[in-house]
Structure 1
Amino acid sequence: MSNVVSFSVLLRERSSRAHSASEGEGFMADLLGGEGTREDYISLVAQHYFIYDALESAAAALRTDPVVAPFISDKLTRLPALEADLDFLVGPDWRERIAPLPTTKRYVDRIRKVAATWPGGFVAHHYTRYLGDLSGGIFIGRVMQRRFGFDTNGIGFYLFADIADPRAFKDVYREQLDRAPWDDERERVIDEVLVAYRFNTELFQDLQRARVRSSVA
């Protein structure tokens, strides 16, 4: 019987604390707990737009890369849904009314940098975002739907109509992680996943600070 731990399991175990810390940030705790407002939710959607614009532009450029290609699926694409959500939540002039927060700018720069120089690093960010979307993200969408009385407009980002079984999809994704030709860069990929979680945590902190400033303005 083998005691070898698969890479996907090792990755999940090594990042679990960072994942929990990010989920427990005050901004998200308030949003999910009923203290956050519709405007808070819109602020989160707006920052997601900039992140996924960078992520999916990079994915398009890396579709044929041998390391990245197995993870790219049109079923995961979120940008059109985010655009539709912002059109519904903000209005047709939403592009002129949103701006990236400081952490979002750094996050986007990091995604673009690793996408241009290191395919494994891009997969680390791809994994962190999309597997999170297919797990806690779906739950968040349901909470926002109940909280703000949305039907499907406004929460399209969290709806994966083309993925009938998210759990099965994630299982396949993890199998691809285990088969990827990481060679000696596994530790480096894990470290980049931790970087991605840190950006997520710092983004929630940015959103909380913006929320406080807005409340006292």
Structure 2
Amino acid sequence: MISISEIRERSVDLAAHVDVLIQHSENYYALSQAVAEARARTGDRARMLTRQAVGSEIVSRLYRLIKNDSDAWNYPWLINHLKGDELLEKLMPTFNHDGRKTFRELVQLRDEVLSLFDKVASSLEFQKLSVYRQKFVGHRVPKPRDLRKFSPEADVVELSSSELRWLTDVLSVIADRTAYMIDRSSFPADQIAHMAQDEAHALWDLPAPENRKSLKDVYGQTD
């Protein structure tokens, strides 16, 4: 049986990778804006190549976090261990450290996490990302074998920033809900994103962002 300390270690490790993923993503979105505003200036070609490299890194990181590889430290490993109620019983003392939570609430959180990850793993967005990675980032296979089990819409030659953002956002919610399950802590996705957004806009000489997107606005979820 897996120990609480190992579950906590894996959860913290995965959240740290999502943290870096968010930072790469905000840089990518800023670069996309900078490239869209290109006016044949010196450096625009370098910006486009940098955007491509950052995009490939995001694709690789998302794939490694979501793909069900049994020997990897990834979300499928964590999800698999969260399925059993025996682990939840072990988590209950820290989840209910102040006596305000019930086992039913912990089960509901766990079920929400399982549902969210299933939504990601079975999504068309992840199918597209997998095919794109095999075609252009990883093995460079023109017709990946995965296409036999994916829908025709997955056979893409490009990915939109909104598709990458959706996958990143859902992983952020999963990281937050998992941290809450373990010891009622949180994953500060919005703060990470806003800081990275400011850094990226300053780096690429873009105006400061006027609007801030929040995961709670996207998913309508509250603590």
TM-score by length of 1: 0.32
**Larger Rg belongs to:** 2
Q: Which of the two has greater helix per residue? A: 1
Higher relative contact order (CA 8 A, sep 6+): 1
